[in-house]
């Protein structure tokens, strides 16, 4: 039951051959979202073939293809409605099913990347056995996914439970790439962080100015050393993520919250802050456990591989 799987992010694309939850071989390539989804698929295809050569698996033994995409994806038709932030702008018009059928003639399944990550945690990770779960993925952007009564919440177009990163936090805020204003992502996401840091009057005196890349890993590391700007950026992000978690609890009443994405590697700081904030501000006063994704950055790739094994179709 070997599957070609791809977890397409805003910065990198993870590609793997997965067999019943076990990653046989995985590689990352640059996403280059400005080039579009069609070109991304053209770069993905040869890597999958190389992974087959490296693992000794014949192309004919690949039973399905799974794609986790940072987009609003209709649950039944697989139509890609929108990709926030101008990433992979050609995706809504790109005939993905036809491309896959022509290139590989294999059944395929694709869905939103946060939905795929939550599916991975439900099947193999920290959410096993849970019936009502919310997930926040914190990476290039901020995504959410929800399972209620054991079923993924999708809605008519695939938007339900998925727009947590695009809830308005600031009614006077500027426009987000999704079309909304003052979104969560504009306040606390990896794509927004460099500009936030550079626009601060503290930037020139901060150790962040000497970093090769301004990331939340650097922010949390330097905040721990007392850097004033890093401490301010960390405090702001922690509050935004905690508000997002509180809103998710208010909207969906989960019995478990899962934190995924690269930023969740700082869970030792994020989780205690969220618990304290939720106890103070959430209308619901019962305790909602918050746990980092057990699969880490592999949640999406394992989740989409699992979904592909049971839901892939020859055409969408």
Q: What is the mean pLDDT of residues 85-105?
A: 92
Lowest average pLDDT, out of 15-19, 148-152, 279-283, 308-312, goes to: 308-312
For residue 316, what pLDDT is reported? 47
Q: Are residue 79 and residue 103 in the same domain, yes or no?
A: yes
3-state secondary structure string across the chain: CEEEEEEECCCEEEEEEEECCEEEEEEEEECCHHHCHHHHHHHHHHHHHHHHHHHCCCHHHEEEEEEEECCEECCCCCCEEECHHHCCCCCCCCCHHHHHHHHCCCCEEEEEHHHHHHHHHHHHCCCCCCCCEEEEEECCCEEEEEEECCEECCCCCCCCCCCHHHCECCCCCCECCCCCECEHHHHCCCCCHHHHHHCCCCHHHCHHHHCCCCCHHHHHHHHCCCCHHHHHHHHHHHHHHHHHHHHHHHHHCCCEEEEECHHHHHHHHHHHHHHHHHHHHCCCCCCCCEEECCCHHHHHHHHHHHHHHHHCECCC
- The domain that holds 69 is classified in CATH as 3.30.420.40
Residue 122 falls inside a structural domain: no
Q: Are 65 and 111 in contact (CB under 8 A)?
A: no
Query: In which domain, by residue range, is 30 found?
Result: 2-117+298-311
Same domain? 275 vs 142: yes
Banded model confidence at residue 176, pLDDT cuts 50, 70, 90: confident
pLDDT at residue 222 greater than cutoff 60: yes
Do 152 and 261 fall into the same domain? yes
- φ and ψ at 291, to 5 degrees? -135, 140
Residue 62 has pLDDT above 50, yes or no: yes
pLDDT at 139: 87
Q: Do 172 and 272 fall within a single domain?
A: yes
Regarding whether 307 and 175 lie in a shared domain, the answer is no
Q: Give the residue, 85 or 105, on which the prediction is more confident.
A: 105
Please give the Cα distance from 18 to 299 (Å, whole number).
12
Assess if residue 124 is contained within a domain: no
Nearest Cα neighbor of 114 from 67, 68, 167 is 68
Cβ contacts of 316 within 8 Å, gap of 6 or more: 77, 78, 79, 96, 97, 108, 109, 110
Instruction: Identify whether residues 49 and 172 lie together within a single domain.
Output: no
Specify whether 180 is located in the same domain as 279.
yes
The predicted structure's pLDDT at residue 76: 87
Computed over every residue of the chain, the mean pLDDT equals 94
290-292 vs 256-260, strand pairing mode: parallel
- For 111-146, the pLDDT digits (tens) are 999 999 999 999 999 999 999 999 999 988 899 999
Kindly state whether residues 283 and 144 are assigned to the same domain. Answer: yes
Same domain, 7 and 106: yes
- 97 in a structural domain: yes
Question: According to the model, what pLDDT value does residue 56 have?
Answer: 95
On whether residue 240 sits in a domain, the answer given is: yes
Counted domains in the chain: 2
Q: Looking at the structure, do residues 142 and 223 belong to the same domain, yes or no? A: yes
């Amino acid at each position: 039951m070997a599957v070609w799987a791809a977890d397409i992010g805003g910065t990198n694309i993870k590609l793997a051959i997965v067999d019943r939850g076990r990653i046989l071989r995985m590689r990352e390539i640059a996403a280059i979202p400005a080039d579009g989804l069609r070109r991304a698929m053209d770069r993905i295809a040869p890597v999958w073939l190389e992974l087959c050569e490296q693992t000794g698996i014949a192309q004919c033994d690949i039973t399905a293809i799974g794609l986790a995409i940072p987009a609003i994806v209709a649950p039944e038709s697989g139509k890609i409605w929108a990709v926030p932030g101008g990433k992979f702008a050609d995706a809504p018009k790109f005939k993905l099913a036809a491309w896959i059928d022509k290139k590989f003639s294999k059944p395929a399944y694709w869905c939103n990347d946060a939905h795929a990550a939550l599916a991975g945690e439900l099947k193999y990770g920290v959410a096993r056995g849970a019936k009502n779960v919310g997930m926040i993925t914190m990476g290039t952007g901020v995504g959410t996914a929800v399972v209620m009564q054991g079923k993924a919440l999708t809605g008519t177009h695939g938007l339900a439970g998925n727009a947590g990163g695009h809830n308005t936090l600031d009614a006077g805020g500027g426009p987000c790439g999704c079309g909304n204003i003052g979104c969560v992502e504009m306040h606390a996401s990896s794509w927004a962080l460099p500009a936030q840091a550079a626009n601060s009057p503290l930037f020139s005196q901060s150790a962040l100015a000497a970093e090769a890349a301004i990331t939340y890993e650097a922010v949390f590391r330097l905040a721990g050393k007392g850097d004033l700007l890093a401490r301010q950026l960390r405090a702001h992000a922690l509050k935004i993520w905690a508000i997002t978690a509180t809103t998710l609890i208010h909207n969906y009443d989960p019995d478990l919250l899962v934190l995924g994405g690269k930023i969740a590697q700082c869970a030792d700081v994020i989780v205690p802050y969220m618990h304290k904030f939720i106890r103070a501000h959430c209308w619901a006063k019962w305790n909602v456990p918050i746990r980092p994704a057990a699969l880490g950055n592999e949640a999406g790739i394992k989740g989409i591989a699992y979904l592909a094994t049971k839901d892939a179709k020859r055409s969408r």
